[in-house]
Structure formats: structure tokens, C-alpha cells
Structure 1
Amino acid sequence: MAILIKKNPNWLPVRRYWELLLVLVMRNLKVRYRGSILGVYWSLLNPLIMTGLYSAIFGAAFASYYSNSILNYISAAFTGLVVMNFFSSSTSQALSSVVGNGALLNKIRLPVSVFPVSMVAANIFQFAVGAFPLLSVITLINSKSIGNVLALVFPFLALVLVSTGISLLVSALYVFFRDLPYFYELIVFVIWISSPIFYPAAIVPPQIKVFLAFNPLSPIIESFRQITLSGNLADLNLIWGAFLSGIIILSLGWACFQMWRHQFMDLL
């Protein structure tokens, strides 16, 4: 890849973007976990504690939807929580990334989009070393298939697309509307409560499911759970639905970011 970039000058902006992205990701992780004992593994603490809490309260009531197994419910709740935790952390951290680096952008000409993207990339690293190995073990135990473990990558890529699209959108909006963090907390709560995290999607009434279909995390969570818990091969329809929502949201977020970018410097 490096040889290809050297031979083709058209790849030079990509190389520079990639190098800057790596620098920002390392900076984000070092600042976030400086002096921390567990480091990136703190990202597992919230979903593990919440999984225990949900299991204690709802485990017996909802176990019937998961083959009458509380262990399956625990796995399902953990899966939903790590998806929601990744989305919430990535987008909330990216929201202020452009404004937070306004002083730097006023001094040096940099690709503005690299700042929200770096926040998502830092959380990808956290997920890769924290939640993903645990999900892989759960999947291997339930499905006894390496293929299903590898298939976990597909709904995760869809999650990254959704998170990146929303991160670009909210980081651009925050340049214009500084009250956005308070409003975005409410939006994240609505997405959380409308996602089948601590409850099975089967209990949602049909008339409500019509509205919940607009939640981009629902197909991602369902795809993760199908791969992790069912023991069957990955459902391509669920994966395609997850990817479709990710592509649409990423396209929307990127289009808005590019459309508003020329106004950023006047407001930073």
C-alpha cells in the first residue's frame, strides 16, 4: 500500500489524512485514559454493570423469549448495551470535536472531518480490544462456528457507518447551535429506549413497530443477536438491513458536513 501511494501522487491526500487520523486517535486515547488502571477496558464496565442490573430485574420475565434461558437473556442484553454504548460514546465525543479544535483549525489548514472521524476510530479500537473478544467467545459457545465469529464484523461495520454519519452531522450542527449537547442527550435517550436492548423486539406492539423501524440501531442489534445467540448462520437479510441504514445515514451526514463546512471558520 505504501509503495502504491508513493508511485501514485493522487493517493497523497489519503496518506496524509490517514497519518493525521492515527495521531489524533492516539492523542484521544492517551488523554482519555492517562493515569487509568484499566485503560480502555473501562469501556466494558458500563455495559457489564447494566447487564447485571437488567438481568436481575427483567431476566426472569423475558427469559421465555430467549429459549427460557436467563443466560441467553444476559447475552442479549450485553449485546444491545455494547452497541448502544459504542454509538453513544462515539457520537457524543464527536459532537464537540470540531469546535474543540477551532483554535488549531484557525492556525493550520487541516481536513476538518478528521476530528469527528478520529473520535469514532478511537471507540473502534476500544471495541476491538474490549467488547469484541467477549462477544466472540459468546458466539463461539452458542454457535460453535468460527464463521459466525467472523460474521460479527458485518453488523459492526454497519454500526461504524451509522456512528460516523451521525458524528459528522452533530459535529457540524454544533458549530452553529451551541445548545445542541443538551438536546442531543434527549435524542440519545429516545434512541436507547426505542432500541430492543433490555427487552425483546417481540413484545413491541405492531402499531409501535412502524415508528421503531426508523431507529438505525435496531437492525444492527438484531443482526448481532441473531449471529451471537441463534447458533445458525448469519442472516443476510438482517445484515443487509443494517448496512442499508448505515449507508443512508453516512451519506446524509457526509453531505451535510460538506455543505456546511465552508461556514465553519467564520464561527470557530
Structure 2
Amino acid sequence: MYTKRKEDKMKTVKNICLSLKRYSFLLEQLISRDFKVKYKRSVLGVLWSLLNPILMMCVMAIVFTNVFKFSTPGVNYLTYLLTGLVFFNYFNEASNLSMSSVVANFSLINKIYIPKYIFPLSKCLFVGINFLLTLIPLYAVIILTGTGLNIYHFLLPLSFIFLFVFTLGVSLFLATVSVFLRDMFYIYGIIIQILSYMTPIMYDINMLDPRLQMVLKLNPLYHIITFARTIILYHQIPTSMDFAACIISSIASLIIGAVVFRKNQDKFIYYV
């Protein structure tokens, strides 16, 4: 029984890889279309991907350092803030776009056969390209504030992978639910707002009550952002607990999202 399940899983993974290879051109076209739509008639175009996190950081830094007197002992607050913003903004934008990706492409799904997971995946990859662009201002701030680079930065791509896998899992789940429950578009706006406060983007979690800290540490985004901050700000290798938390949460998210999506994708056609 165990051997059969293992063979089925291997077969599923193989089919997904073959499907990705077969529809790679479509995936490229979907990503290209998103770029053209997003920056159509925009004077600055792609430069907004660089300016947006910088402007957000400036506004939030002024508010939280001067009004609420937030600080992060031992590290530069601007770098701390921008690291959290860049990572959270990726999750926010990718999950929001992916949620409506299947619904928005019903006309295409009705005409020809396309693996439906292509749509959430294309959104996560599209936002991922923007995410890579936002690393330019992040590294500019790292250098200009004297935070500096360190040898452990070679581990930083792992935090990007954890973030992508976790977001893709959430995106597959949201894309499924939104087909059957259109109210999800409004509900998720509230959820993401709550999540933004439950993720230590602009504040240090150590300033909170220990019991509240335990609650906030249930948030997978906390562990992924902490993983990156450990490398960037503290010049250290993340602990084994950090690795375990990121790996477990990202893989669990992907498995749950993929299972829910796969079990329901054949019903999508009835909810146009």
C-alpha cells in the first residue's frame, strides 16, 4: 500500500513537470501579458517597482519612529522595516492577484484545455519578478545605512524560495475558494489587513507580551521574514528551528493548497 502511494505521488510530480514543460510558452505569455497590463500608459513603468517600497518605507519610518517611537535595538530600523515590507508586499500582491486568476480566465478555460494551476502560478511568478526588482532598493538601503553585506547572504535565496512556495500554496487555496465563494474577494481584504498587523513588519516582536509573542509566532510569514532578517541584520546563520519552521510551513501550505485545488478544479466549469 505504501509503495503504491509512493508511486502515485511520483507519477503526479512527473505529470506536473511534463505539464509545465508543455505549457511553458503559455506561462511566459501570461506573465508577459501581466507586465504589459500593469505598466500600460505608465510614464515611469518598471521604476515603480523600485520607488514603491522606498516611498512606503519613508512614510512608515517617519510615522513609526517619530510618532510611535518604534526602534530595533542593535540594528538599523530602516533596513529592518524595508526587509519586512519587501517580503510581506510580495505575499500580499501575489496572493491577491492569484485569488482572482481562475475567475478572470474563465473565458479561456471554456474554450481550450489548460492546466488551471497555470493561472495562480503565473501570478506568483509575475510578482516574483517585481520582487527581485525590489531587492535593488533593499540592498541600496543595506549599504547606505552601514548594515553591510556578509558571508551568510548566500543563504538568502532560501528565504525567497520559502516565501514563494508558501505563497503559491495559499494562492492555490484562495483561487479555489474564490470560484465557489465570490465574497472571498472582500473577506480576504480584511484578512490581509489583520495579517499585516500580526506580522512584525514595523515593530520588534520582543517589545510585546510573551503570551502575545507566542500567538504571533504561529504566523508562517513571521518565520520567513525572521529568517531573512537574521542574515541581513544580525549577520548570522538562521537557527535549525528557523529552518524547520520555514520548511514545514511552506511545504504544508503547498500540499494543502495543491490538494484543495486538484480536488475541486473539475468543478470550476460549473461556476462560471
Q: TM bucket by the smaller chain?
A: 0.7 to 0.9
**Counterpart of 1:265 in structure 2: which amino acid?**
I
More moved, 202-211 vs 22-31 = 202-211
Q: How do 1:89-128 residues align onto structure 2 when only pairs under 5 Å count?
A: 89-128=93-132
Q: Structure 1 residues 34, 111: closer, same or farther in 2, change over 3 A?
A: same
SS at match of 1:116: helix
Q: Structure 1 residues 133, 236: closer, same or farther in 2, change over 3 A?
A: farther
Q: Structure 1 residues 210, 235: closer, same or farther in 2, change over 3 A?
A: closer
Q: Structure 1 residues 57, 192: closer, same or farther in 2, change over 3 A?
A: same
Is this contact kept in 2: 1:142–1:231, CA < 8 A? no
1:203 is aligned to 207
Unpaired stretches in structure 2, ≥5 consecutive residues: 1-13
- Structure 1: distance between partners of 2:70 and 2:152: 25
Is this contact kept in 2: 1:139–1:149, CA < 8 A? no
Q: Please point out which of 15, 22, 47 is paired with 1:16.
A: 22
- Structure 2: distance between partners of 1:241 and 1:163: 15
- Structure 2: distance between partners of 1:151 and 1:92: 28
Is this contact kept in 1: 2:79–2:142, CA < 8 A? no
What's the CA shift string for 1:201-243, capped at 9, x where partnerless? 1112111122212212100111111111112344453233222
Is this contact kept in 2: 1:90–1:163, CA < 8 A? yes
Q: How do 1:159-170 residues align onto structure 2 when only pairs under 5 Å count?
A: 159-170=163-174
- Structure 2: distance between partners of 1:170 and 1:265: 17
1:217 is aligned to 221
1:62 aligns with 2:67: no
1:142 is aligned to 147
- Structure 2: distance between partners of 1:252 and 1:10: 16
1:242 aligns with 2:246: yes
- Structure 2: distance between partners of 1:200 and 1:75: 13
Report the alpha carbon displacement of residue 139 of structure 1 after superposing the two structures with TM: 5.2
Identical columns (%): 31
**Counterpart of 1:49 in structure 2: which amino acid?**
L
Report the alpha carbon displacement of residue 148 of structure 1 after superposing the two structures with TM: 2.7
What's the CA shift string for 1:41-82, capped at 9, x where partnerless? 31343322221122212226333x332x6xx10111111111
**Counterpart of 1:62 in structure 2: which amino acid?**
F
1:82 is aligned to 86
Task: Name the Cα RMSD after superposition.
Answer: 2.2
Q: Structure 1 residues 24, 247: closer, same or farther in 2, change over 3 A?
A: same
Q: Structure 1 residues 256, 12: closer, same or farther in 2, change over 3 A?
A: closer
Is this contact kept in 1: 2:165–2:254, CA < 8 A? yes
- Structure 2: distance between partners of 1:9 and 1:133: 36
- Structure 1: distance between partners of 2:168 and 2:121: 6
**Number of equivalent positions:** 255
**Counterpart of 2:58 in structure 1: which amino acid?**
G
SS at match of 1:39: coil
Report the alpha carbon displacement of residue 137 of structure 1 after superposing the two structures with TM: 4.6
**Counterpart of 2:244 in structure 1: which amino acid?**
W
Report the alpha carbon displacement of residue 90 of structure 1 after superposing the two structures with TM: 0.3
Report the alpha carbon displacement of residue 22 of structure 1 after superposing the two structures with TM: 1.3
Is this contact kept in 2: 1:151–1:234, CA < 8 A? no
**Counterpart of 1:131 in structure 2: which amino acid?**
T
Q: Structure 1 residues 122, 10: closer, same or farther in 2, change over 3 A?
A: closer
**Counterpart of 1:209 in structure 2: which amino acid?**
Q
2:11 is aligned to none
- Structure 2: distance between partners of 1:171 and 1:235: 34
Report the alpha carbon displacement of residue 138 of structure 1 after superposing the two structures with TM: 4.9
2:135 is aligned to 132
Q: Structure 1 residues 248, 139: closer, same or farther in 2, change over 3 A?
A: farther
